[in-house]
Amino acid sequence: MRSLKNTVCLSRGSWNNEVMKHCWSLSASVTSEYNRTMQDFTELAYTTSPQHKDSTEERIKRDSSDLEKIQTKIATCSPYTADPL
């Protein structure tokens, strides 16, 4: 990828040239094949993790518990009462 950027000047601010855009789009299949070949060669695979860790059952329970604690603290320590303790 770096060599592609160096040879056709695909760096910041150079996207105004249609030839460069065309070259970039044609290189997608080459870089994809390179990526697949390297994964096969190294016997490693690119994977992603779950994207929404906030929605796990344990996280929802913890958030609910934290919310209750905050609500209790706000209700008992109101700055508008004579005795905020």
Ordered DSSP codes for 26-75: HHHHHHHHHHHHHHHHHT-------S-GGGSHHHHHHHHHHHHHHHHHHH
Cα gap 65→58, rounded to integer Å? 11
Give dist(CA 54, CA 49) in Å, integer. Answer: 13
- Kindly list the distances between the CA atom of residue 24 and the CA atoms of 17, 19, 20, in Å, as whole numbers in the listed order: 11, 9, 6
Q: What percent of the chain has pLDDT over 90?
A: 9
| Domain locations in the chain as residue ranges | 2-42
Q: What is the pLDDT of residues 11-43, one digit of tens each?
A: 555 556 777 777 777 888 888 888 889 889 998
* pTM (2 d.p.): 0.34
